[in-house]
Chain A
Amino acid sequence: MTALPTRKAEAWRYADLKAVEALWPPQPARLISVRAGEAQEEIVRVREGGLHDLRVELAAGATLRLVILVQSSGYARVAVEAHLNEGAHLDLGGILLGDGEATQEIVTEIRHSAPGATSRQRVRLVVDDRSTGTYLGRIAVARDAQKSDAEQSARALVLKRTATANLKPELEIYADDVKCAHGCTVGELDKAARFYLQSRGLPRALADALLTRAFVADALTGLEDSSTREALEAETAEWLEQRA
């Protein structure tokens, strides 16, 4: 891909094309490859703008737990292209926190190329001020990739009328014996949960902060190492507290 993308390209329809032009051409993709039967955990933190391409290769029976945390001031795009071989498992958690004028994107393409691979994606977007947060997530199941199991959950919280959230969870399925589902929601914090917290003595702002923190932390449930998880939770909590 060397030509500058245009608005017509589906994968760039919500991008900040001016910013993209300045960043073009992108650096070669970073390769994360996990060998057959092995397991690995990767954290990708994006604090500075830019085009961050990741290429994930999972050999047969390999497992990768990948967490992407995007919170930058300029235009940032994290694009993951993952190939899953037989029986491989990808657990992908994405957190996107947007404020100011930032346009940020998490773009995933999970290719189930062989039978029996599983993938689980949970992406949480919080957009404030005049920011734009986008999640484009495509799951592609190849003709012979029977018994694929792909699960995708995307949720967004829009904090202001000037902010924008875009979600495009996409399924491209060519095998019939598969379990593929996606669900996404955009909305306010749960009113019943808020009242429950308030009735136990939490002021509204604190109740909202706690609920937002839980909303985001959902994306980290795939991590096995609790200290990493707590560190990431603390990082997002700090950002959320600045909002309150």
Chain B
Amino acid sequence: MTSETETLRNPQASAAIDELSTYKWGFATDIEQDFAPKGLNEDTVRFISAKKNEPEWMLEWRLKAYRIWLTLPTPEWAKLKIPPIDYQDAYYFAAPKAKPTLASLDELDPEIRRTYEKLGIPIEEQKVLAGVEGARRVAVDAVFDSVSVATTFREELKRAGVIFLSISEAMREYPDLVRKHLGSVVPVRDNYFACLNAAVFSDGTFVYVPKGVRCPMELSTYFRINAENTGQFERTLIIAEEGAYVSYLEGCTAPMRDENQLHAAVVELIAETDAEIKYSTVQNWYPGDKDGKGGIYNFVTKRALCRGARSKVSWTQVETGSAITWKYPSCVLAGEDSVGEFYSVAVTNNYQQADTGTKMIHLGKGTTSTIISKGISAGRSDNSYRGLVRIGPSAEGARNFTQCDSLLIGDKSGAHTIPYIEVKNPSAIIEHEATTSKISEDQKFYAMSRGLNSEDAVALIVNGFCKEVLQQLPMEFAVEAQKLLGISLEGSVG
């Protein structure tokens, strides 16, 4: 291990992590916070906008969204049991009390710094994710409750022409770019949660990669919910101009709390001609305890517009956390020969519920999409894949391949596969396959006879089951994700 990673692993932090055996990211950080008044009304929206020093057009945009939100019904089609949510019993803005702008990273509140250190997130430049030797450098935007607290490698990226900022800063520094693209892929009235996000989103990440630029490092945002009773509503906007390339990672955790907390994010990606965006997520929000108490409601809208010819967007997600997940990262394939990919691992245990999948909307000629989904259900959880493949009349020669595999661990959980295939073009070729299985006793016995204990044997087999997806992740994340799979399934094997 290098000396740099040693500094990240300070003994106290390591001890704190080790104490928490199942959800290791469940500690809370005690810092001074600024809250918006509890509840949601137009004043809350004005408060957030004022707090962030936003231009007038932005406030108007938010207010319009709020008024539309009041008229929208909650979505009920998912295979989820969502308890009624009291939107008035939550805080919509929580920010660490600190200087409004930091002159350098050294001025960051030491408590927050320590939090990220405990989480193994490098918010100091030159640091890499803990535990991985020879890892590439990763630029990080750290979002703590409602605001971005640190963005690293900003200057170096700027020299390459890449803009990597919190979205609040981007709104002030690049208002035209933000105004032009915000809400262009996920319109305000798209759905209930996206609309709520438009009204109250507090921060998030903005990435702009200009024409012909290959982003020199991985970009990443690390989301952390800390405050109690607080919803997190972040918004991410990534634009890759002609011929640009960017790989972006996001990770998320939250403290263990008995009540449910809402996370309703919106992510918009735009890929122009020959551009490529790779978007990877390791979602590890607090899933609730083994009796299903507490946990994050993760209601997220993610969508990419492949606008240019030969553009490509690849979504990779490893979903292990959250009490309820409702999430369908999608691609609108408008450009000719554009490519959409969705690789997903979703693990549910105890009383977790996940309804996740994708939408591939083929509009352009020669568009192709690939969907690989691996669902693992353990405990008393329910895990659904829900995916739409739509081929429009103009999508001559479009192709889709979908493979959905479900793995059941124990006989108290549920695994569901719900694909929608809608085809309006005779030349399209669609192939969809789905299987449901359990871990075979033979496989388990074989691994155990070679010395693995029951849980390690299951973890090994599950990792094999997910391999096609895990290998899509950048190396640093793949290692973390593998560990996470094992931890998520702890206690699921009798």
A–B direct contact (CB < 8 Å): yes
Contacts of B417 in A (CB 8 A): 169-171, 182
The reply to whether the CB of B408 lies closer than 8 angstroms to some CB of chain A is: yes
The reply to whether the CB of A172 lies closer than 8 angstroms to some CB of chain B is: yes
Cα A178 to Cα B411 in complex, Å, equals: 11
- Closest B residue to A134 by beta carbon equals B422
Contact residues of B between 59 and 103, Cβ < 8 Å to A: 76-77
Contacts of B425 in A (CB 8 A): 158, 161
The reply to whether the CB of A46 lies closer than 8 angstroms to some CB of chain B is: no
Inter-chain contact A162/B408, CB cutoff 8 Å: no
The reply to whether the CB of B431 lies closer than 8 angstroms to some CB of chain A is: yes
Inter-chain contact B424/A184, CB cutoff 8 Å: no
Chain B interface residue number, banded: 35 or more
For the residues of B in contact with A, the DSSP-based class is strand
Residue of B414, B426, B433 touching A173 (CB-CB under 8 A) = B414
- The verdict on A166 contacting B422 (CB below 8 Å), with A172-B414, A176-B410 known, is yes
Q: Of the 9-residue stretches B8-16, B172-180, B434-442, which lies at the interface with chain A?
A: B434-442
For the residues of A in contact with B, the DSSP-based class is strand
Inter-chain contact B414/A183, CB cutoff 8 Å: no
Inter-chain contact B424/A164, CB cutoff 8 Å: yes
The reply to whether the CB of B415 lies closer than 8 angstroms to some CB of chain A is: yes
A114 to chain B, nearest CB (A): 15
Residue of A143, A161, A179, A182 touching B434 (CB-CB under 8 A) = A182
Contact residues of A between 138 and 180, Cβ < 8 Å to B: 143, 146, 156, 158-180
Inter-chain contact B415/A173, CB cutoff 8 Å: yes
B206 to chain A, nearest CB (A): 36
Contact residues of B between 390 and 407, Cβ < 8 Å to A: 391, 393, 406
Residue of B411, B424, B428, B435 touching A176 (CB-CB under 8 A) = B411
- The verdict on A177 contacting B424 (CB below 8 Å), with A170-B417, A184-B430, A186-B429 known, is no
The reply to whether the CB of B238 lies closer than 8 angstroms to some CB of chain A is: no
The reply to whether the CB of B475 lies closer than 8 angstroms to some CB of chain A is: no
Inter-chain contact B426/A185, CB cutoff 8 Å: no
The reply to whether the CB of B418 lies closer than 8 angstroms to some CB of chain A is: yes
B400 to chain A, nearest CB (A): 9
- The verdict on A188 contacting B429 (CB below 8 Å), with A143-B411, A171-B434, A172-B416 known, is yes
The reply to whether the CB of B105 lies closer than 8 angstroms to some CB of chain A is: no
- The verdict on A180 contacting B436 (CB below 8 Å), with A158-B423, A168-B418, A168-B421 known, is yes
- Closest A residue to B416 by beta carbon equals A172
Residue of A143, A171, A172, A186 touching B421 (CB-CB under 8 A) = A186
Cα A38 to Cα B420 in complex, Å, equals: 36
Residue of B76, B412, B433 touching A181 (CB-CB under 8 A) = B433
The reply to whether the CB of A10 lies closer than 8 angstroms to some CB of chain B is: yes
- Closest A residue to B394 by beta carbon equals A161
B375 to chain A, nearest CB (A): 10
The reply to whether the CB of B53 lies closer than 8 angstroms to some CB of chain A is: no
Cα A155 to Cα B334 in complex, Å, equals: 26
Contacts of A187 in B (CB 8 A): 428-431
Contacts of A176 in B (CB 8 A): 408-411, 413, 438
- Closest A residue to B439 by beta carbon equals A176
The reply to whether the CB of B427 lies closer than 8 angstroms to some CB of chain A is: yes
Cα A151 to Cα B391 in complex, Å, equals: 26
The reply to whether the CB of A8 lies closer than 8 angstroms to some CB of chain B is: yes
Contacts of A178 in B (CB 8 A): 436, 438
Inter-chain contact A173/B430, CB cutoff 8 Å: no
A123 to chain B, nearest CB (A): 12
B16 to chain A, nearest CB (A): 37
B47 to chain A, nearest CB (A): 35
The reply to whether the CB of B26 lies closer than 8 angstroms to some CB of chain A is: no
Contact with B along A69-99 (1 / 0, CB 8 A): 0000000000000000000000000000000
B383 to chain A, nearest CB (A): 10
Inter-chain contact B421/A183, CB cutoff 8 Å: no
- Closest B residue to A187 by beta carbon equals B429
Inter-chain contact B421/A8, CB cutoff 8 Å: no
- Closest A residue to B429 by beta carbon equals A187
A218 to chain B, nearest CB (A): 16
A96 to chain B, nearest CB (A): 14
Inter-chain contact B426/A161, CB cutoff 8 Å: yes
Contacts of B419 in A (CB 8 A): 167-170, 184
- The verdict on A173 contacting B416 (CB below 8 Å), with A166-B421, A183-B433 known, is yes
Contacts of B433 in A (CB 8 A): 181-183
Residue of B415, B420, B428, B434 touching A186 (CB-CB under 8 A) = B428
What residues of chain A have their CB less than 8 Å away from a CB belonging to chain B?
A: 8, 10, 143, 146, 156, 158-188
List of 7 A-B pairs having minimum Cβ-Cβ separation, nearest first: A176-B408, A187-B429, A186-B430, A167-B421, A171-B417, A176-B438, A180-B436
5 contacts between A and B (CB under 8 A): A171-B434, A182-B417, A184-B421, A185-B429, A186-B428
What residues of chain B have their CB less than 8 Å away from a CB belonging to chain A?
A: 76-77, 391, 393, 406, 408-438
